[in-house]
Structure 1
Amino acid sequence: MPEDLAFCTLVKIMFDYGLRDLFKLGLDVLHLRFYQLQRLTEGMNTIFHISLALLKASKKELLQLDFEGALKYFRVALPRRYRTEANAKELIHQAVKLKISHKRLSKYEKEFYSLKERELESQDPQERLEAEDSVESLQGQLERCMRTAKDLEDENNGLRAEYDQVKEMCRREVQRLESEAMRSQSIILNYKQICSDLSYRLDKQQENYQTQKKRISVGRRALLNLSEFQQYSPVKEENGCGLRVVELMDKLEESEQRVRQLELSLAQTKLELVEAQCRNQDLSHQVNS
Structure 2
Amino acid sequence: MMEEISIMVAYDAHVFSQLHDEDFLTSLVAISKPRSMVPIKKLKKYEKEYQTMRESQLQQEDPMDRYKRENRRLQEASMRLEQENDDLAHELVTSKIALRNDLDQAEDKADVLNKELLLTKQRLVETEDEKRKQEEETAQLKEVFRKQLEKAEYEIKKTTAIIAEYKQICSQLSTRLEKQQAASKEELEV
Bucket of the pairwise TM-score, normalised by the shorter protein: 0.5 to 0.7
- Aligned twin of 1:145: 88
Q: Please report how far the alpha carbon of residue 122 of structure 1 lies from its aligned counterpart in structure 2 after TM superposition.
A: 6.8
Q: Please report how far the alpha carbon of residue 167 of structure 1 lies from its aligned counterpart in structure 2 after TM superposition.
A: 1.9
Residue identity opposite 2:159 in structure 1: I
- Aligned twin of 1:163: 106
**Are 2:78 and 1:131 equivalent residues in the alignment?**
no
Three-state SS of the structure 1 residue aligned to 2:101 is helix
Residue deviations 1:166-189 (CA, integer Å, cap 9, x gap): 222122212211111111111111
Q: Could you tell me which of 146, 163, 175 is aligned with 1:203?
A: 146
Three-state SS of the structure 1 residue aligned to 2:177 is coil
User: Larger Rg: 1 or 2?
Assistant: 2
Equivalenced residue count is: 117
Bigger mean CA deviation after superposition, 130-139 or 144-153: 130-139
Three-state SS of the structure 2 residue aligned to 1:153 is helix
- Aligned twin of 2:174: 231
Alpha carbons of 1:196 and 1:124: their partners in 2 closer, same or farther (altered >3 Å)?
A: same
Q: Could you tell me which of 163, 174, 188 is aligned with 1:220?
A: 163
Identify unmatched segments of 5+ residues in structure 2.
Answer: 1-62, 179-190
What is the correspondence of 1:90-101 to structure 2 with a 5 Å cutoff? Answer: none
Report percent identity of matched pairs: 7
- Aligned twin of 2:46: none
In 1, the alpha carbon distance for the partners of 2:106 and 2:85 equals: 31
Residue identity opposite 1:203 in structure 2: R
In 2, the alpha carbon distance for the partners of 1:226 and 1:123 equals: 148
In 2, the alpha carbon distance for the partners of 1:231 and 1:170 equals: 87
How high is the TM-score relative to the length of structure 2?
0.54
Residue deviations 1:242-262 (CA, integer Å, cap 9, x gap): xxxxxxxxxxxxxxxxxxxxx
Residue identity opposite 2:97 in structure 1: D
Q: Please report how far the alpha carbon of residue 121 of structure 1 lies from its aligned counterpart in structure 2 after TM superposition.
A: 4.4
In 1, the alpha carbon distance for the partners of 2:159 and 2:107 equals: 76
